[in-house]
Chain A
Amino acid sequence: MNKMEGQAPSPLPDQVLENVLETVLHFLSSRRDRNAASLVCKSWYRAEALTRSELFIGNCYAVSPRRATARFPRVRSLTIKGKPRFADFDLMPLNWGAHFTPWAQALAQSYPSLRRLHLKRMSLTDRDLTLLSLSFPHFQDLLLTCCEAFTTTGLAAIAANCRLLRVLDLAECVVEVADEEVDWISSFPETQEETHLESLVFDCVECPVNFQALERLVARSPSLRKLRLNRYVSMSQLHRLMHRAPQLTHLGTGSFSASELDPEPDYASAFAASKSLVCLSGFREIWPDYLPAIYPACANLTSLNFSYADINAHQLKSVIRHCHKLQTFWVLDSISDEGLQAVAETCKDLRELRVFPVNTREEIEGPVSEVGFEAISRGCRKLQSILFFCQRMTNAAVVAMSNNCPDLVVFRLCIIGQYRPDPETLEPMDEGFGAIVMNCKKLTRLAVSGLLTDRAFGYIGTYGKLIRTLSVAFAGDTDLGLKYVLEGCPNLQKLEIRDSPFGDGALRSGLHHFYNMRFLWMSSCKLTRQACQEVARRLPHLVLEVINSEEGKADDIEILYMYRSLDRPRDDAPKVVTILH
Chain B
Amino acid sequence: MGSYESELNLKATELRLGLPGSDEPEKRSCSVRSNKRSSRESSVEESRCKSNVNSDDSTTTSDHDQESVQPAKVQVVGWPPIRSYRKNSLQQKKVEGDGSGIYVKVSMAGAPYLRKIDLKVYKSYPELLMALQTLFKCTFGEYSEREGYNGSEYAPTYEDKDGDWMLVGDVPWNMFVSSCKRLRIIKGSEAKGLGCL
Q: Shortest distance in angstroms between B86's beta carbon and chain A's nearest beta carbon? A: 7
Closest residue on chain A to residue B94 by CB atoms: A310
- The verdict on A484 contacting chain B, using a C-beta distance below 8 Å, is no
Residues of A within 8 A of B15 (CB): none
Q: B46–A418 contact, CB under 8 A?
A: no
Question: Which label, helix, strand, loop or mixed, suits the secondary structure of the B interface?
Answer: loop
Q: Bound complex: CA of A206 vs CA of B30, how far in Å?
A: 27
- The verdict on A95 contacting chain B, using a C-beta distance below 8 Å, is yes
- The verdict on A361 contacting chain B, using a C-beta distance below 8 Å, is yes
Q: A557–B96 contact, CB under 8 A?
A: no
**Contact partner, B61, options A95, A417, A524, Cβ 8 Å:** A524
Residues of A within 8 A of B59 (CB): 474, 499-501, 524-526
Q: Bound complex: CA of A204 vs CA of B86, how far in Å?
A: 10
- The verdict on A111 contacting chain B, using a C-beta distance below 8 Å, is no
Q: B98–A356 contact, CB under 8 A?
A: no
**Contact partner, A501, options B12, B58, B85, B98, Cβ 8 Å:** B58
- The verdict on A308 contacting chain B, using a C-beta distance below 8 Å, is yes
Q: Shortest distance in angstroms between A415's beta carbon and chain B's nearest beta carbon? A: 9
Q: Bound complex: CA of A286 vs CA of B100, how far in Å?
A: 12
- The verdict on A510 contacting chain B, using a C-beta distance below 8 Å, is no
**Contact partner, B79, options A92, A418, A549, Cβ 8 Å:** A418
**Contact partner, B51, options A285, A360, A524, A527, Cβ 8 Å:** A524
Residues of B within 8 A of A575 (CB): 46
Q: B77–A89 contact, CB under 8 A?
A: yes
Encode A468-483 as 1/0 by CB contact (under 8 A) with B: 0001011001100000
Q: Bound complex: CA of A500 vs CA of B32, how far in Å?
A: 20
Q: Bound complex: CA of A56 vs CA of B10, how far in Å?
A: 48
- The verdict on B134 contacting chain A, using a C-beta distance below 8 Å, is no
Q: B85–A93 contact, CB under 8 A?
A: no
Q: Shortest distance in angstroms between B103's beta carbon and chain A's nearest beta carbon? A: 14
Q: How many residues of A contact B (CB 8 A)?
A: 70
Residues of B within 8 A of A431 (CB): none
Q: B85–A204 contact, CB under 8 A?
A: yes
Q: Bound complex: CA of A523 vs CA of B46, how far in Å?
A: 17
Q: Bound complex: CA of A287 vs CA of B48, how far in Å?
A: 39
Residues of B within 8 A of A501 (CB): 58-59
Q: How many residues of B contact A (CB 8 A)?
A: 53
Residues of B within 8 A of A250 (CB): none
Residues of A within 8 A of B36 (CB): 148, 174
Q: Shortest distance in angstroms between A249's beta carbon and chain B's nearest beta carbon? A: 24
- The verdict on A364 contacting chain B, using a C-beta distance below 8 Å, is yes
Residues of B within 8 A of A204 (CB): 85
Q: B62–A416 contact, CB under 8 A?
A: no
Q: A473–B79 contact, CB under 8 A?
A: yes
- The verdict on A453 contacting chain B, using a C-beta distance below 8 Å, is yes
Q: Shortest distance in angstroms between B90's beta carbon and chain A's nearest beta carbon? A: 6
**CB neighbors of B among A431-482 (8 A):** 451, 453, 471, 473-474, 477-478
Q: Bound complex: CA of A556 vs CA of B64, how far in Å?
A: 10
Residues of B within 8 A of A86 (CB): 78, 81
- The verdict on A576 contacting chain B, using a C-beta distance below 8 Å, is yes
Q: B77–A90 contact, CB under 8 A?
A: yes
Residues of B within 8 A of A285 (CB): 92-93, 96
- The verdict on A426 contacting chain B, using a C-beta distance below 8 Å, is yes
Q: A94–B50 contact, CB under 8 A?
A: no
Q: A287–B12 contact, CB under 8 A?
A: no
Residues of A within 8 A of B90 (CB): 308, 310, 332, 358
Residues of A within 8 A of B48 (CB): 92-93, 547, 549, 576
Q: Bound complex: CA of A557 vs CA of B52, how far in Å?
A: 13
The listed residue with most B CB atoms (<10 A of its CB), out of A148, A474, A500, is: A474
Q: Shortest distance in angstroms between A441's beta carbon and chain B's nearest beta carbon? A: 26
Residues of B within 8 A of A473 (CB): 79, 81
Encode A296-316 as 1/0 by CB contact (under 8 A) with B: 000000000001101000000
Encode B119-159 as 1/0 by CB contact (under 8 A) with A: 00000000000000000000000000000000000000000
Q: A557–B66 contact, CB under 8 A?
A: no
Encode B61-95 as 1/0 by CB contact (under 8 A) with A: 11110100000000011111111111101101100
Q: B96–A576 contact, CB under 8 A?
A: no
Q: A453–B4 contact, CB under 8 A?
A: yes
- The verdict on A490 contacting chain B, using a C-beta distance below 8 Å, is no
Residues of B bordering A, CB below 8 Å:
1, 3-4, 7-9, 11-12, 20-21, 23, 32-34, 36-37, 39-40, 43, 46-53, 58-59, 61-64, 66, 76-87, 89-90, 92-93, 96, 98-99
6 nearest CB pairs, A to B:
A89-B78, A90-B34, A556-B61, A419-B7, A501-B58, A558-B50
Between-chain CB contacts (< 8 Å), 23 pairs: A88-B81, A88-B83, A88-B84, A89-B77, A94-B43, A174-B36, A204-B85, A284-B89, A310-B98, A356-B82, A357-B82, A363-B23, A389-B82, A414-B81, A421-B8, A423-B12, A453-B4, A473-B79, A478-B1, A498-B78, A547-B48, A556-B61, A558-B50
Residues of A bordering B, CB below 8 Å:
86, 88-95, 146, 148, 172, 174, 176, 204, 257, 284-287, 307-308, 310, 332, 356-358, 360-361, 363-364, 389, 414, 416-421, 423, 426, 428, 451, 453, 471, 473-474, 477-478, 498-501, 523-527, 547, 549-550, 553-554, 556-559, 574-576
